[in-house]
């Protein structure tokens, strides 16, 4: 399981500030930060601690199992962001 960010994210970075394992990207300063329409959670790194849910001012983060029906697409989207990112710069996601 992992946590998932859905499309209503307003990119205010509140979740980044609280994530204990630094698995929410891109981060301010990253080359792909400005063009990102939202932030994404790396499902491989996320430890399901729930801290980001509390921090998010617009309730854009869900535990995978509780992602609303209309936002289910986001589960794959979050994962895919990291796969494409790794493929792009050959760097670990």
Partner 1 sequence: MARPAVRVAVVGAGPAGAFSAAQLRSWGVGEIDLFERLPTPWGLLRGGVAPDHQEIKRLEQTFDRQTLGRGCRLLANVEVGTDISHAELMEHYNAVVYATGAQTDKSLGIPGEDLPGSWAATEFVAWYNGHPDHREREFDLSGKRAVVIGNGNVAADVVRLLTRDLGELERTDVADHALDALRDSQIEEVVVLGRRGPAQAAFTSAELRELGNLDGVDIVVDPADVELDPVSREWLDEEGTFTARKNVELLREFAAREPTGAARRIVLRFLSSPVAIRGGDRVEAIDVRRNEIVRSGDGSLRARATDDPVETIECGLVLRSVGYRAVPLPDVPFDENYYVLPNDRGRVLAADGEPLPGVYAVGWIKRGPTGILGTNKRDAAETVARVVEDIEAGGLPDPPKGGDDLDALLAERKPDLVGVDGWRSINEQELEAGRSADRPRVKLASRDELLSATKPAQPA
Which residues bind to partner 1, rule: CB under 8 A? 6-8, 10-13, 28, 32, 35-38, 57-60, 70, 73, 77, 81, 84-85
Nearer to partner 1, 51 or 77 (CB): 77
Q: Residues 16 to 55: which contact ligand SF4 by CB under 6 A?
A: 18-19, 21, 23-24, 39, 41, 46-52, 55
Q: State the nearest-atom distance from the C-beta of 80 to ligand SF4, in Å.
A: 16
Residue with tokens 């209309």: 70
Across 13-46, b (16+ Cβ under 10 Å) vs e yields ebbbeebeeebbbbeeeeeeeeeeebbbbbbebb
């Amino acid at each position: 399981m992992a946590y998932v960010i859905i499309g209503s994210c307003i990119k205010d970075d509140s979740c980044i500030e609280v994530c204990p394992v630094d698995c929410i990207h891109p981060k301010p300063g990253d080359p792909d930060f400005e063009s990102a329409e939202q932030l994404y959670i790396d499902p491989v790194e996320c430890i399901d601690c729930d801290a980001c849910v509390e921090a998010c001012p617009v309730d854009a983060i869900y535990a995978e199992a509780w992602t609303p029906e209309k936002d289910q697409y986001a589960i794959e989207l979050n994962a895919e962001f990291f796969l494409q990112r790794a493929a792009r710069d050959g760097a670990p996601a």
